Amino acid sequence: MSQEASMFSAADAVVNYGPSSGHEPPVEDLPLPADFAWGTATAAYQIEGGASQDGKGKSIWDTYSHLEPSHTNGENADISCDHYNRMPEDVELMNSLGVDVYRFSISWSRVIPLGGRNDPVNEKGVAFYNGLIDRLLAHGIAPVVTLYHWDAPQEIYNRYGAFLNTEEFRADFERYARLCFTRFGDRVKKWVTFNEPYIISIFAHLNGTLAPGHCREAGTDTKTEPWRVGHTIILSHAAVVDMYAQDFGPSQKGDISIVLNGHFYEPYDAASPADRDAAERRMVFYMGWFADPVLLGTDYPAEMRAYLGARLPEFTADERALLRRTAPINAFYGMNHYSTKYARALSEPPAADDWTGNIEESSVNSEGKETGPVSGLGWLRVAPSGFRKLLNWVWKRYRVPIIITENGCPCPGEDDVVTAVDDKFRQRYLGLYLDAISRAIYEDGVVVKGYYVWSLMDNYEWSAGYSARFGIVHVDFKTLQRTPKNSAYYLRDTFRSRRKAAS
């Protein structure tokens, strides 16, 4: 998922196909380890379609994308890429591009339509994912499975508010995870519990730009509820990791962890101690919020406790013990990263429900310097040096191997198949970011194990609808024809050459 696509419309795109404009060096095709995995990534709601096919239940996105007035650019993913019916074709496509890994998510409401721990299983939904996994393995493509990519069953939201009720959600999520481990775990060796909990907490429950758009409803409390959502995610993740380690890991021998998104933040004014502190604090609020409890087994970061006070939930003694016990089990840090921003400390009092640490973000600093050339979305700039710095920040803080579980961009002016296929902007972006990974590995000593491009194909970009195209494969949403872009072949070829050079 492109984590902020939902906040911008097509009108935000600025045409800029040019070179780095002095911001970044040329692509050097630097080497990567011989065992470095490259793959593609998608999410169930964004590509599958088949919204009510074969017994699938409604998710919060099935509801949210049909609201009137629309909050999703007047579009929905009832059909989208129709991957549910075209899965064999899509696996063949991946095979032709030489990918090692396919990261996809399971639709909870496709396998348990009502979502609850006592609700019936939909065997046709289970059969679809069994077929996908088997077909991937037959082509030598390793499945990496995300359990939750933003699409909670609508019924559990109706019953108790989903993430807003920690005890109920945790119990339902544990049952869902157990089903997936039982049915698919003999073949799936890498699991992700949650995708981008920051976005679930803030975008879906504080500013309301993503499903379920909770803050739009009467009686909501944006001062405390987003932090409760994050608390629920952390504890549900830890409970499922604990379950996997005890009941499945010894026989299935897989890895499990979480995927966190985040920008790198530079100070708005590099000479300002307040702005330097703001840049660090912003990353702590963005990533440390989840990574400290999950990967270090500690409380929330001290900066968050000091700023948020009673707004931030407390962990019980049993919950702290669970976090300490499960922290070492997380086998990797799943990193979704797209761009870099500047952070400026604000002097005026924050809003009562501020979630940033009283910090303003921008793409231009105090000297008028931009973080990098703009892509097809105003917030996403080409800034590979920030990516390298973020890799170092995460590695030094957590010392866990990193997998880039999402990275990519939409091209400016990517309006039709002709302009989309010749995607030089995207190729340059990908090349620079792969070079940044190489430098982080070989010059800085950061352990990075793989790279999954976002996304395999153009798809439904949440509240932005179909206005933003992140795919390395073009999709004609009228005919559903797939056409690989030049970036797809660039990735196929560059991984062959980069890994050969490193071996």
- H helices of 54-106, in order, are 60-64, 83-96
Cα 285 to the center of its chain, rounded Å: 17
Q: What is the spatial distance between Cα 433 and Cα 372, in angstroms, rounded to a whole number?
A: 13
In this structure, the number of other CB atoms found within 10 A of the CB of residue 39 comes to 25
Phi, psi of 484 (to 5 degrees): -60, 135
Q: State the amino acid at position 220 in one-letter form.
A: T
Q: Are 196 and 147 in contact (CB under 8 A)?
A: no
Q: Look-up: residue for tokens 């097809």?
A: 376
Cα 174 to the center of its chain, rounded Å: 21
Q: Look-up: residue for tokens 């502190």?
A: 277
Choose, from 24, 168, 196, 461, the residue flagged as catalytic. Answer: 196
Is the preceding peptide bond at 455 cis, omega within 30 degrees of 0? yes
Q: What is the spatial distance between Cα 392 and Cα 238, in angstroms, rounded to a whole number?
A: 25
- H helices of 257-360, in order, are 273-283, 289-291, 302-308, 317-326
Residue of 344, 457, 469 lying closest to 414 (CA atoms) = 469
Task: Reply yes or no on whether 196 is catalytic.
Answer: yes
> Per DSSP, what are the bridge partners of residue 342?
266, 362
What's the burial of 17, exposed, middle or buried (CB within 10 Å: 0-12/13-18/19+)?
Answer: middle
Q: What is the spatial distance between Cα 103 and Cα 146, in angstroms, rounded to a whole number?
A: 7
**CA distances, 413 to each of 43, 338, 381, 476, 478 (Å):** 24, 19, 15, 16, 19
Residue 110 in tokens: 């496709």
Choose, from 4, 406, 414, 461, the residue flagged as catalytic. Answer: 406
> Per DSSP, what are the bridge partners of residue 105?
146
Q: What is the spatial distance between Cα 19 and Cα 191, in angstroms, rounded to a whole number?
A: 38
Residue of 495, 474, 379 lying closest to 431 (CA atoms) = 495
Cα 76 to the center of its chain, rounded Å: 20
Task: Reply yes or no on whether 314 is catalytic.
Answer: no
Residue 76 in tokens: 């929905």
> Per DSSP, what are the bridge partners of residue 454?
41
Q: What is the spatial distance between Cα 414 and Cα 418, in angstroms, rounded to a whole number?
A: 9
Q: Look-up: residue for tokens 């009137």?
A: 68
> Per DSSP, what are the bridge partners of residue 145?
104, 191
Q: What is the set of active-site residues?
A: 196, 406
